[in-house]
Amino acid sequence: MQSNKKICIGIDLGTTYSCVGVIQHGNVEIIANEEGSRTTPSMVAFHADHDPLIGNSAKNEAALNPENTVFDSKRLIGRCFDDPNVQEDMKSWPFTVVSDAGRPRIKATHQGGVRYFPPEAISSMVLARMKETAEAYLGTTVTNAVITVPAYFSNAQRVATKDAAVSAGLNVLQMINEPTAAAIAYGYEKVEGKKNVLIYDLGGGTFDVSVLTIVNGNFDVRSTSGNTHLGGEDFDSRLVGYLREEFRRQFPAKDLSTNKRALSRLRTAAEKAKRELSFASQASVIIDSLFESIDWKVDITRARFEALCSDLFSKTLEPVQKALRDAKLDKSQIDEVVLVGGSTRIPKVQKLLQDFFNGKRLNKSVNPDEAVAYGAAIQAAILGGDNSLPLLQDLRLTDVTPFSLGIEVKTDDMAIVVDRNTTIPVQKNQTFVTQFDNQTVVAFNVYEGEHAKTTENNLLGHFMIQGVPPAPAGYEMFDVTFDIDKNGILNVAAVNKSTKKQNNITIVLNWK
């Protein structure tokens, strides 16, 4: 049999670590980088006199060159500078973020001068490094890729991620949701019969929950929820806050807060201690010459760490409940709760989730750090026409709209036309009327989001219909159709019933 397969890779672009996989000789291979690690820190260190360092080498430099070592670009991508999450994160970053016409730009000294990088540029460098890692392993140029994004990413965040991939020289075959990719990793080969599966994906910076029904190789996402700003980095920040306080208590005359290098070392030590506390009941933070030649050692217990983060851990259960509600499933109807993401190693996180599911045993069958790239590699092979594996030919994926879609009525009320978690493709119609007496021009502003006020949601696009006959408010009617095709292309069309005048807009939604 002739195979027309192209080489296609799957990339998990993580907040803290990224991972790349490919199907080779019928197996999924997670590709190690040149240092031999299967995940690569999503970090870039800029220098005055040479090219930026990316990945492990950037991470190793973080303490020496804190102002120019950039991480967390995924927490900035597709967001505005004024976003409260951005403002909060900026307080703990050693690098500087400024506003350029409302968009965040990261300040760094690069090859002799000060430069301002959009977050996409940083993500693009990390993606380029993942591409190179794959190319070194495969011995050939690779351009085709499936890239994963958090299920709860907005359209703007998805567009920015895609732009980053394109400027890294990648041809994006598809962007798939991280928990969906993890579900493929879990369900591929294993699931017999029908199973309702909840994927709980707690990574470095984002949290996603997806509920899927898997039956005969069909992966039907039924609902998705999450928080694009909750993960291991937030736990690190809590620990750093505690350690700073502890240092201040021990050395009241010393002020750590202005010393970026000390703060960066404290953060690295905090993350290490956090990891240890997943396996031990106590960990030591030991930093030589932390500040003014003080060699500092402090012990932290697991109980203390749990107390510091307890509200954040509990917060993860809200999207779980929401996803179950939206999937119209009771928790007793979930056959498997699958853990994904490095932060699911935290025992307290597991305990809360297990208690929520009335003591159900959690499924730890996938590698939490690699499952997303693993599933992305499988989807990439399917899209690349790899017909060497019979199982791949049977695999089908249907996803849902993560956010509701609608148009603005009155001044800023959101009228939902397509509810969140609707399976796509879909077509929905609704009738709208004029709001003012003698209104001859009607604007249709299209939004995504769950808030009752459009000002709190995301504007996707707009169009107008002119030449509407003057009439009392509410008299002139418009048929509005939202049509989303299988590729996530949204077409919004409106027709004035009396004049048949119409207009429309096409918006590429990057959910598929």
Q: Is 74 a catalytic residue?
A: yes
Q: Judged by CB under 6 A, does residue 346 bind ligand AMP?
A: yes
Q: What would the DSSP string read from start to end of 262-324?
A: HHHHHHHHHHHHHHHTTTSSEEEEEEEEEETTEEEEEEEEHHHHHHHHHHHHHHTHHHHHHHH
Separation of alpha carbons 105 and 167, rounded Å: 17
Question: What's the min distance (Å) between Cβ of 372 and ligand AMP?
Answer: 7
Contacts of 452 (CB under 8 A, 6+ apart): 413, 414
Q: Is 437 a catalytic residue?
A: no
Question: What's the min distance (Å) between Cβ of 30 and ligand AMP?
Answer: 12
Nearer to ligand AMP, 14 or 226 (CB): 14
Question: What's the min distance (Å) between Cβ of 340 and ligand AMP?
Answer: 7
Nearer to ligand AMP, 231 or 384 (CB): 231
- Which member of 61, 120, 201, 336 is catalytic? 201
Q: Is 201 a catalytic residue?
A: yes
Separation of alpha carbons 267 and 257, rounded Å: 12
Contacts of 355 (CB under 8 A, 6+ apart): none
Site map (CB under 6 A) of ligand AMP, residues 173-212, x = contact: ------------------------------xx--------
Nearer to ligand AMP, 18 or 510 (CB): 18
Provide the edge-to-edge strand list for the sheet that holds 113-117. 96-100, 103-110, 113-117
Sole binder of ligand AMP in the list 72, 208, 271, 326 (CB under 6 A): 271
- Which member of 12, 72, 234, 369 is catalytic? 12
Q: Are 199 and 212 in contact (CB under 8 A)?
A: yes
Question: What 3-state DSSP class applies to 378?
Answer: helix
Sole binder of ligand AMP in the list 341, 384, 402, 449 (CB under 6 A): 341
Helices (H) and strands (E) in the chain, counts: 13, 27
Q: Is 178 a catalytic residue?
A: yes
Nearer to ligand AMP, 239 or 407 (CB): 239
- Which member of 72, 120, 163, 178 is catalytic? 178
Question: What's the min distance (Å) between Cβ of 309 and ligand AMP?
Answer: 10
Sole binder of ligand AMP in the list 274, 302, 322, 512 (CB under 6 A): 274
Q: Which amino acid is at 181?
A: A
Q: Are 185 and 205 in contact (CB under 8 A)?
A: no
Separation of alpha carbons 347 and 350, rounded Å: 5
Active-site positions read 12, 74, 178, 201
| Site residues for ligand AMP per CB under 6 A | 14-17, 203-204, 231-233, 271, 274-275, 278, 341-343, 345-346, 369
